[in-house]
Structure 1
Amino acid sequence: MVIAAPIITPVNPISYPSSDGEPVAETYDHFYAIAVLLEMLQQYLAGKQATVLGNQFLYYAQGLPRMRVAPDVMVIFDVPPGGRDNYKIWEEGQVPAAVFEITSKSTQITDTGFKRDLYAQMGVQEYWLFDPKNEWLDQQLQGYRLQGETYEPIEDGNSLVLGLRLSIENKKIALHRLDNGEKLPFPAELAEQVNQERQAKLEAEQARQEIEALLQRYRDRYGDLEA
């Protein structure tokens, strides 16, 4: 007689927290660099099967909630767009294609040691370090591309997985499209463009109304215009 082993359901299912109570960034410059980069990448990838997440837990070992890391910004392709409270690789089926760490003196050992090795082992294709305060990196913006199982420096600032060229502008990462050279606007620049377009529409509508008023006065005095 064969006795089947009972299926035991854990009394307390495994919890994967979405926050550890730590601050998002070390300084305002770090926070602003993260927020701006996150918004630009979200706008750039809008409508595509991709998501951009910022400072959220990335869980990489099912059943082991302590096996986690929180990239400052990560881009994942071939997944449904939109936000998540956290990201579990085994549920989504994709590792990040690119990870950005907005680094500082206090995080340099982790950023260049543990995290760099971990992302390479995961198969993250590109790893970028940006030092907004220019405190410790020899080059304020440094990129690495996975070659085999190790990272090699990116010399030209081009992100091939994103199709963007990265540069520095006023303590922020600036992005240009590789296909046409177009610069992606910073959020403040985008807001200014929207305001200018709105103002132009208002002025055009005002001009149209003035022309219609002039025509109406003409009709009232001389009758309808003949073709």
Structure 2
Amino acid sequence: MVQQLPTDTTPAIIYPDSDGQPMADNTKQFRWIVVIKENLELLFSNNPDVFVAGDLLWYPVEGDNKLRQAPDAMVVFGRPKGDRGSYKQWEENNIPPQVVFEILSPGNRLKAMAQKYKFYERYGVEEYYVYDPDEVDLIGWLRSGQELDVIEEMNGWVSPRLGIRFQLTSENLEISSPSGERFLSFVELAQLREQERQRAEQEHQRAEQEYQRAEQERQRADEALTQLEQEKQRYQALEALLRERGIDPNQ
């Protein structure tokens, strides 16, 4: 009689790449998500070990596909760049996102934001920023031990991890890179590139004009030199003719 070995019938756990929720509730929220995420990508574009993502599901615990969050933007130091359907922490050397951003919208509820705060605090986020573009209000938390402590003054605050600076005005939030360059929208970046292209074209035209002027000056100098050479040759021919006739041209 052949004895059958028991088989593992435990179904594989699926970790969905989408939670069915929209990325943003309105254009203002979406614009801020894109500006922050894309400028962070640009800031760390030369560092292969910094992963930046927007609206990507983060699963911190293997075996639990209900425990998850999708930060509007997140930054992970120590993980390579590349496309991912979701961020499964156990597949990423168990490194959690160190910095996360959330952009408030009318669809955000106080309970949901409190749940996100507790999630980020529990699973290792070091810096957590929430921006309300309607009220132009920025709140930040910084990890201290096992807790996220509120940052008392956000105006002028510099992120320890990112090195970026936050400046609040009465009308807007400005974020600048460590070199002082302001975070720009895609449209602003395109306009800046066009301005740089136009300046480069103008410089090229000025250089071309200078070259043409210099070439004209060289041609005039060559013509003057040719005339002098011709005068010299005529003078030498005249000297030779005078000597043939017995006349000393130097007297």
TM-score normalised by L of structure 2: 0.75
Matched, 1:214 2:199: no
Structure 2 partner of 1:78: 78
How far residue 50 of structure 1 moved from its aligned partner, in angstroms, is: 0.8
Higher strand share: 1
Contact 2:129 2:139 in 1 (8 A): yes
- Which whole-Å CA distance do the structure 1 matches of 2:118 and 2:131 have between them? 17
Identity %: 31
> Helix, strand or coil: the match of 1:151?
strand
1:85-105 alpha-carbon deviations (Å, 9 max, x no partner): 211111112101111111234
The residue that corresponds to 1:24 in the other structure is 23
Q: How does 1:1-227 map to 2 (within 5 A)?
A: 6=6, 8=8, 13-48=12-47, 49-93=49-93, 94-134=95-135, 140-157=137-154, 158=157, 159-168=159-168, 173-177=173-177, 182-187=180-185, 188-223=187-222
Q: Which amino acid aligns with 1:50?
A: V
CA-to-aligned-CA distance 1:31-70 (integer Å, 9 cap, x gap): 1111111111111122122111111111122122222111
Kept in 2, the 8 Å contact 1:33–1:171? The answer is: no
Match of 1:42, SS state, is helix
Quick check: 1:133–1:171 contact (8 Å CA) kept in 2? no
What displacement does 1:209 show?
Answer: 1.9
Cα distance between partner residues in 2 of 1:22 and 1:112: 15
Q: Specify the code of the residue in structure 2 equivalent to 1:35.
A: V
Cα 1:185/1:225, change in 2 over 3 Å:
farther
Range that drifts further, 72-81 or 60-69:
60-69
Q: Contact 1:100–1:127 (CA<8 Å) still a contact in 2?
A: yes
Which has the larger helix fraction? 2
Number of aligned residue pairs: give it: 217
TM-aligned CA distance change 1:214 to 1:110, over 3 Å? same
Pairwise CA RMSD: 2.8
Specify every segment of 5 or more residues in structure 2 that has no aligned partner in the other structure, as ranges: 226-251
Structure 1 residues not aligned, in runs of 5+: none
Flag the 1:160–1:108 CA change in 2: closer, same or farther, 3 A. Answer: farther
TM-score, length basis structure 1: 0.82
Higher relative contact order (CA 8 A, sep 6+): 1
Secondary structure of the 1:133 match is coil
